[in-house]
Amino acid sequence: MILSQILHDQSVLTPLESRTRSGVFEEMAKLIVASGRIKDPKAVRKAFESREKTGPTAVGKGVAIPHARTDKLDTMVAAIGIAPAGLDWPTPDGEPVRIVVALAGPAGRPAEHLKALSHTAGLLRKEDVRKKLVEVPTTYDLLQYLREIEGTEAGPRASTTPVSGDF
């Protein structure tokens, strides 16, 4: 599952406005609603909060990947938020979270969810990718960069298991 293919052009925010985890969950939920695949940001936010209670989604190296499944979705969607100054979010390595990639998917399709999570985590393990994502000046540039490194050429998409390892 390619990240740039489950992102809508309105589902990226750089910089994030909030500095807290709960505020970021709300921002990410609103960005996911902008995909046109779900209408209720509260349902998405609650799903993120519920998932976070089972274990932290901040994986280190300045990255958090909040993710959840809900019966209100029929396909995977993603949102990205960048916080160059860092967020107030507990992390395993103590490094502030600067990149948040939120994933939401259908409750009945865990394999699809895990595939998106695995791809996203693998992409964000690369130091050069993390550095570039924090440095890009605009949403457009961020989307173009993702498409470039993932090998996709399509324009912005129209509305239509815990991660482990050495991060």
Task: Reply yes or no on whether 67 is catalytic.
Answer: yes
Closest CA to 35 of 156, 138, 154: 156
Q: Which of 165, 147, 166 is nearest to 156 (CA)?
A: 147
Cα 46-108-31 angle, rounded to 5 deg: 40
Backbone angles phi, psi at 47, to 5 degrees: -65, -40
Which is catalytic among the residues 8, 67, 113, 119?
67
List, by residue number, the catalytic residues. 67
